[in-house]
Amino acid sequence: MTDKNSPSAGNENLAFRAALARGLVSRRSAMMGAAGLGAAAFLAACGSEGRNPSTPGGTGGAAASAKAAQDMSDTEKVVNWSNWTEYIDVTDDGKSRPSIDAFTKATGIKVNYTEDYLDNDEFYAKVRPLLEGGQDTGRDVWCSTDWMVARLIRQGYVQKLDMANIPNAKNLNDSLKNVEFDPGRAHSLPWQSGFAGIGYNLKATGGKKVESVEQLLTDPALKGKVTLLTEMVDTMGLVLLELGKDPAKFTDADFDAALEMIKKAKESGQILRFTGNEYTDGLAKGDIAACMAWTGDVVQLQFDNKDVQYALPDKGFMLWSDNFVIPAMARHKKNAELLINHYYDPAVMAQVAAWVNYIPPVKGANEELVKIDPELGKNPLIAPTPEVLAKSHVIRGLSPEEHAKYSRAFNAVVTG
């Protein structure tokens, strides 16, 4: 008899039931974006201050070491985890989370799971005063986008991980082991990743595929039915790639040229509007013919609507990731590390991937996902091949001054 908490429970019906339970709402429901993570070979990251860039980050200079509170893990069997909305596996009735239940059953550690991470900057604004004052945030672990991880490390607001408590960290995909913003993964481990590319509705396009940013911005057949993303990293990154520019090496002149291309498309009426992930409803209905979109959103839409398609532009596309971090003064650091270790079991990570439909960062998870749902396990948007990953990119790391300058220019076009 199959344990309902087993990663293999549900098999081929799991992903479909998950889509229904989620109501086709991804973890991006309440946010304007998450940073591009980057990969030349395989999800190799570059610490950009990318998504939702309205608040330049960083204090400049070397960060102080993160302060540690007395760890109460051995006497208090609890861990407090903040995460994005709709970003974990749930039962059909939505009342429990099987992978969390399995962790508690195995360890005796209760998980207080809170979906209160709605936006990187908004969450940072909540916790920064406490971190700055050397106080406990009430959270033992959360999942920040890579550019925010870079900021937290720089400011000394997150602790180093004790890998003795996370032996499954050996399952981290090789090219994620040494990222620019956290060399050697001393402070963070990835939770999920995904691509930014193009979504389109075949009925709305008259059966035409939309596979390039040039089509989005210039094809008369799409006029007035195109949306771009409100966050700078993915939108500007995709346009830079269309112009043949490397987002990891772009200049001011490159940025200006890409922005001018967007501005002309907007002024011509080609662009309907700029969106967060609220594009999903319009894309499903056909009110939006084509748009810049995130993989997980489109994979979820495809469960109910086969007219919704996704394209990764041949000239390249953007990649992002969210990461586990343990804040300074966390009271249950060891318990948090044991939780991370649980999710670095390939079977457990596959269970999550079957529900959230993003890219799992754990070796062996794709093979386990095939056992749950063969179609999902072979989906290149969830289990990308090395050839697909080789075309993924990230915008280079930005100084606070560059960040503010580029954000002002981009937002002026978005809102103008």
Of 269, 266, 303, 271, residue with least CA distance to 284: 303
Mean pLDDT of 208-218: 98
Burial grade of 205 (CB within 10 A; 0-12, 13-18, 19 or more): buried
Write the pLDDT tens digit of every residue in 360-375.
Answer: 999 999 999 999 999 9
C-alpha dist (Å) from residue 320 to 189, 237, 305: 14, 12, 25
Mean pLDDT of 273-295: 93
Residue 85 has pLDDT above 70, yes or no: yes
Residue 270 near residue 227 (C-beta atoms within 8 A): no
- End-to-end CA distance of the chain, in Å? 60
Q: For residues 7 and 104, which has the higher predicted lDDT (pLDDT)?
A: 104
- Using DSSP, how many helices (H) and how many strands (E) does the chain show? 15, 10
Write the pLDDT tens digit of every residue in 97-142.
Answer: 999 999 999 999 999 999 999 878 789 999 999 999 999 999 999 9
Write the pLDDT tens digit of every residue in 364-408.
Answer: 999 999 999 999 998 888 999 888 988 998 787 777 688 789 989
Task: Please report the pLDDT score of residue 336 as a whole number.
Answer: 98
Q: For residues 381 and 59, which has the higher predicted lDDT (pLDDT)?
A: 381
Band (71; pLDDT cuts 50, 70, 90)? very high
Say how far apart CA 370 and CA 326 lie, in whole Å: 31
Task: Please report the pLDDT score of residue 42 as a whole number.
Answer: 40
Mean pLDDT of 187-194: 95
DSSP state of 323: E
DSSP state of 172: B
Say how far apart CA 323 and CA 149 lie, in whole Å: 7
Q: Where are the alpha helices (DSSP H) in 78-231?
A: 98-107, 120-132, 146-154, 213-218
Task: Please report the pLDDT score of residue 64 as a whole number.
Answer: 55
Mean pLDDT of 285-297: 94
Write the pLDDT tens digit of every residue in 218-253.
Answer: 999 999 999 999 878 889 999 999 999 999 899 999
The percentage of the chain sitting over the pLDDT mark of 70, rounded to a whole number, equals 84
Mean pLDDT of 276-298: 92
Residue 142: enclosing H or E segment and its boundaries? strand 141-145
Highest averaged pLDDT of the listed ranges 171-175, 258-262, 371-375: 258-262
Residue 291: enclosing H or E segment and its boundaries? strand 290-294
| Secondary structure, 3-state, 354-386 | HHHCCECCECCHHHHHHHHCHHHHCCCCCCCCH
Band (184; pLDDT cuts 50, 70, 90)? very high
Mean pLDDT of 255-273: 98
Mean pLDDT of 84-107: 94
Task: Please report the pLDDT score of residue 45 as a whole number.
Answer: 37
The percentage of the chain sitting over the pLDDT mark of 90, rounded to a whole number, equals 64
Task: Please report the pLDDT score of residue 276 as a whole number.
Answer: 80
Task: Please report the pLDDT score of residue 319 as a whole number.
Answer: 87
Which amino acid type is present at position 361? Answer: P
Give every CB contact of residue 15 below 8 A, 6+ residues apart in sequence. Answer: 303, 354, 355, 357, 372, 373, 375, 376
Give every CB contact of residue 329 below 8 A, 6+ residues apart in sequence. Answer: 67, 68, 69, 130, 131, 134, 135, 136, 137
**Model-level pTM?**
0.76
Residues 114, 116, 118, 120, CA torsion sign = negative
Strands 110-114 and 141-145 turn out to be unpaired
Write the pLDDT tens digit of every residue in 307-329.
Answer: 999 999 999 999 888 999 999 99
Task: Name the least confident of 1-15, 56-70, 192-206, 290-304.
Answer: 1-15
Residue 48 near residue 396 (C-beta atoms within 8 A): yes
Task: Please report the pLDDT score of residue 41 as a whole number.
Answer: 38
Say how far apart CA 130 and CA 108 lie, in whole Å: 29
Task: Please report the pLDDT score of residue 49 as a whole number.
Answer: 35
Say how far apart CA 316 and CA 45 lie, in whole Å: 16
Q: For residues 300 and 203, which has the higher predicted lDDT (pLDDT)?
A: 203
- Provide the mean pLDDT of the chain: 85
